[in-house]
Amino acid sequence: MRRAPSVILIVAAVVALGLVPVLAPPFYANLLVPFYGYAIALLGFNLLFGYGGLLSFGHAMFLGLGAYGAAVIAGVWGIKEFEIVLIGAALAGLVVALPLGWLVVRYTGIFFGMLTLAFGMLTHSVLFKFYHLTGGDSGMRVPRMRLLGLEFAAYNKIELMAGPFYYYCLALMLIAAFLMWRIVHSPFGLHLRSLRDNAQKALYLGVRVHQFRLAAFVISAIYGAIGGAILGFRTGLADPELVYWTHSGHLVFMTVLGGFSSFLGPIIGALALTLLQDQLQSYTQYWRFVLGAILALVVIFLPRGLAGLAADVGSFLSSPRRRPGPVQLPEHSQPGVLGPGLRRDDVA
Amino acid sequence: MSAFGNILLGGIFHAAVLFLVAAGLQLVFGVQKIVNLACGSFYALGAYFGITFVTLALKAGMPQWTLLPLLLVAGAVMAVVGPPIERILRTVYDRDESFQLLLTFAMVLMFQDIIRFLWGANPTSLDNVQLVYGKIVAGDFIVPVYNLLVIAAAIGAAALIGLFLQRTNYGRLLRATAENRTMAEALGVNVRGIYAAVFTLGTLLGTVGGALVVPTAAASLDMAVEVVIEAFAVVVIGGLGSMAGALAGSLLVGLIRAGSLVFYPEFEILAIYLIVIGVLLLKPSGLFGKPAA
């Protein structure tokens, strides 16, 4: 629906993001690099949560995997090509997620959330306790890497982040988003949504439930690992906090803030939280309280997130003669409806 | 032998405190079907308030031996945060469980800063009070009487909760609501009142657990998120919603933690989570839980 204006909006947004390093001080471009990491990770996360109806509360483990993967490949083995690191991180995500997913996709709802949380905390305790392998709580250093074989020796770390690496990540996010768009709108994506809405009926119709959920889990893990590799390069460090359960909670937070029932929701959420957190931290040391309050308000009053709000405002403005304001709570807020309950026209 | 005894008692003490927190989690999940991540924040709140309350009371001239009753009172007072939070959670009772989980996560974030605001970021502790009740010494075997009292208090709490749920009229209404909310409501049970009561009781168990632990350990900002994952391990091992499971699970987790801290520290949390995953994969309903529908 309304394909034309949204394409214009997306192009405008990409152009605006592309202009940030040119127009704004390097601080802002540097600030946005983690946003790209999170955006890529959340695109994958939302395949599982928004489209698959599976809430993982241990997804930060794959971000950790990517960051530690970068630390091992570039730091320990000395292969300082970021492309190889990305491929390595993706492979690591694949290798870990296959057996893990095979175990966890047999469960849904709260059991899926608890199992992923348990695996996440298991990973955290391994990273935290096995000091000689992982550096314990001080983590592992992620060295500076080459991009597309170029050294960028004239740039210091901030200039590299705010210049070449910024555009690199922007391109990476666009590729990741395009691929995810194709995945979501393929028959596979349709199968996944049917599993979310009514797994029993889908099974009856011949959908291979576990295989499809496993595929979604693995794809989301690969996206998570790639996002984690970006975060690792940005901070120059892979530490166990990346894998702690509260970080997984933050991933869910961003997704819900942006709106999990919309394709671009997670990206909007990642951007909103990155900017918000930066602003809040400069105003008050009690920024967690404000974030928590915002999360509570979004959960209670805006279950479809910022993207849902934007869609409501958009449809209100474009059709003034319609009855004012769509109902605030969509159907999934009603009892008895399982899963996040996406509205068809929100994704089309 | 004596080392073994010390480990055993340390583990049981930890289990006793953990049981209180896990029991609160179980109660809320059993009746309201909400996984309350904020139970760890209640625990931290109880701990910090316990320190302030006891320090003030002792300064005001209360005798030293009133430590345990003072802590219990402090924990009970802090349970006042329960009803307002239940009121907020009421807005999402009919929603998907991921929303409920997220709302309690929002509480975790907020309480962390509320505590930071009220008590500061540095760990606080209650000094020189653990031994006011003396200690029992037998060779190398040393145990503060306070620890034994806390273990006794936890056993007492378990017995009281059991009696309350099984024998009293209100307990029966509560179990009926847990079993089938719609049917209970149709039969005239005040479900809204029961939800408020259950959540407050769950809060009370958390705050009392936190208050009781402060004579033996410092209160820190991280204690909230740390105890959540342990309590969570307890309820998964024991079975979601089961009180007997909370008891067995907390004993298991307490003993494993104490044992691995002594023999192989790297395995402390690892061992617990391996058991959690094993239980979830082999018997997702837990040791004492009812099979999931």
For chain A, give the mean pLDDT.
Answer: 85
Give a yes or no: residue B281 inside a domain: no
Give a yes or no: residue B283 inside a domain: no
Nearest residue on chain A to B239, alpha-carbon basis: A111
Task: Give contacts of B114 with chain A, Cβ < 8 Å.
Answer: 289
Q: Burial of A14 by CB count in 10 Å (0-12 exposed, 13-18 middle, 19+ buried)? A: middle
Is residue B129's pLDDT more than 80? no
* Interface touch B112/A129, C-beta < 8 Å: no
Among the partner-chain residues B35, B97, B270, the one whose CB lies closest to the CB of A125 is: B270
- Pick from A216-220, A320-324, B250-254 the range whose average pLDDT is largest: A216-220
Distances B225 to A202, A232, B158, B211, B220 between C-alpha atoms, Å: 38, 24, 24, 16, 10
Q: How many domains does chain A have?
A: 1
Q: How many domains does chain B have?
A: 1
Model confidence at A321, in pLDDT bands (50, 70, 90)? low
Q: What is the pLDDT of residues B41-75, one digit of tens each?
A: 999 999 999 999 998 998 888 888 888 889 999 99
User: Which of B88, B180, B229 should one mutate to test binding to chain A, selecting the residue with the greatest count of A CBs within 10 A?
Assistant: B229
B 84-143 near A (Cβ less than 8 A): 88, 91-92, 94-99, 101-103, 105-110, 112-114, 116-117
Task: Give contacts of A256 with chain B, Cβ < 8 Å.
Answer: 99, 102
Among the partner-chain residues B99, B112, B266, the one whose CB lies closest to the CB of A130 is: B266
Least confident range from A180-194, B165-179, B276-290: namely: B276-290
DSSP β-bridge partners for residue A237: A141
Give how far A100 is from chain B: nearest CA, Å: 11
Amino acid A304: pLDDT: 87
* Interface touch B97/A110, C-beta < 8 Å: yes
Give a yes or no: residue B235 inside a domain: no
Is residue A339's pLDDT more than 50? no
Distances A192 to A68, A113, A184, B157 between C-alpha atoms, Å: 30, 18, 9, 46
Is residue B268's pLDDT more than 80? no
Model confidence at B278, in pLDDT bands (50, 70, 90)? confident
Among the partner-chain residues A57, A122, A334, the one whose CB lies closest to the CB of B277 is: A122
DSSP code of residue B124: B
Longest Cα–Cα distance of chain A, Å, equals: 67
Is residue A40's pLDDT more than 90? yes
**Minimal CA–CA distance to A109: which of A327, A278, A316, A338?**
A338
Is residue B284's pLDDT more than 80? no
Angle between helix axes B39-59 and B2-32 (nearest 10 degrees) is: 120
Q: What is the pLDDT of residues A221-266, one digit of tens each?
A: 999 999 999 999 998 888 888 889 889 999 999 999 998 888 999 9
Model confidence at B7, in pLDDT bands (50, 70, 90)? confident
Percent of chain A, pLDDT > 90?
39
Distances A190 to A196, B29, B255 between C-alpha atoms, Å: 10, 33, 48
Give a yes or no: residue A347 inside a domain: no
Least confident range from A6-20, A112-126, B196-210, B274-288: namely: B274-288
Amino acid A231: pLDDT: 93
Is residue A4's pLDDT more than 60? no
Longest Cα–Cα distance of chain B, Å, equals: 63
Give a yes or no: residue B290 inside a domain: no
In the structure encoding, which two tokens stand for residue A226, read together? 């790639």
Alpha-carbon gap, residue B73 to B96, rounded angstroms: 36
Give a yes or no: residue B165 inside a domain: yes
- Work out the average pLDDT over B166-179: 91
* Ramachandran bin of A152, using left for φ above 0, alpha for ψ from -120 to 50, beta for the remaining angles: left
3-state helix, strand, coil in chain A (%, to 5): 75, 0, 25
Is residue B251's pLDDT more than 50? yes
Distances A152 to A142, A144, A157, B29, B97 between C-alpha atoms, Å: 17, 10, 10, 55, 48
3-state secondary structure of A81: strand
Alpha-carbon gap, residue A113 to A57, rounded angstroms: 5
Is residue B227's pLDDT more than 80? yes
Q: What are phi and psi of A237, to 5 degrees?
A: -150, 140
Give a yes or no: residue A68 inside a domain: yes
* Interface touch A125/B103, C-beta < 8 Å: no
Amino acid B85: pLDDT: 93
Q: What are phi and psi of B143, to 5 degrees?
A: -140, 125
Among the partner-chain residues A118, A249, A339, the one whose CB lies closest to the CB of B280 is: A118
3-state secondary structure of A46: helix
Alpha-carbon gap, residue A65 to A67, rounded angstroms: 6
Amino acid A296: pLDDT: 93
* Interface touch B284/A107, C-beta < 8 Å: yes
Q: What is the pLDDT of residues A119-147, one digit of tens each?
A: 898 888 888 888 777 877 788 888 888 88
Q: How many CB pairs under 8 A join A and B?
A: 132
Amino acid A342: pLDDT: 40
DSSP code of residue B131: T
Least confident range from A1-5, A269-273, B142-146: namely: A1-5
Give a yes or no: residue A217 inside a domain: yes
Nearest residue on chain B to A106, alpha-carbon basis: B281
ipTM above 0.90, yes or no: no
Least confident range from A302-306, A333-337, B125-129, B281-285: namely: A333-337
Give how far A88 is from chain B: nearest CA, Å: 26
Q: What are phi and psi of A271, to 5 degrees?
A: -65, -45
Give how far A106 is from chain B: nearest CA, Å: 9
Q: What is the pLDDT of residues B78-110, one digit of tens each?
A: 999 999 999 999 998 888 888 888 899 999 999
Model confidence at A336, in pLDDT bands (50, 70, 90)? very low
Amino acid A310: pLDDT: 85
* Domain range enclosing A93: 23-243
Nearest residue on chain A to B93, alpha-carbon basis: A335
Amino acid A92: pLDDT: 94
Amino acid A338: pLDDT: 39
User: Which of A126, A284, A286, A299 should one mutate to test binding to chain B, selecting the residue with the greatest count of B CBs within 10 A?
Assistant: A299
Q: What is the pLDDT of residues B204-214, one digit of tens each?
A: 999 999 999 98
Give a yes or no: residue B267 inside a domain: no
Give a yes or no: residue B18 inside a domain: yes
B251: CB partners within 8 A, 6+ apart: B11, B12, B15, B19
Q: What are phi and psi of A205, to 5 degrees?
A: -85, 0
* Domain range enclosing B55: 2-217
Give a yes or no: residue B174 inside a domain: yes
HSE value, Cβ hemisphere, 13 Å, CA-based, for A267: 18
Instruction: Please provide the DSSP assignment of A145-172 as one string.
Output: -BBTTB--TTS-HHHHHHTHHHHHHHHH
3-state helix, strand, coil in chain B (%, to 5): 75, 5, 20
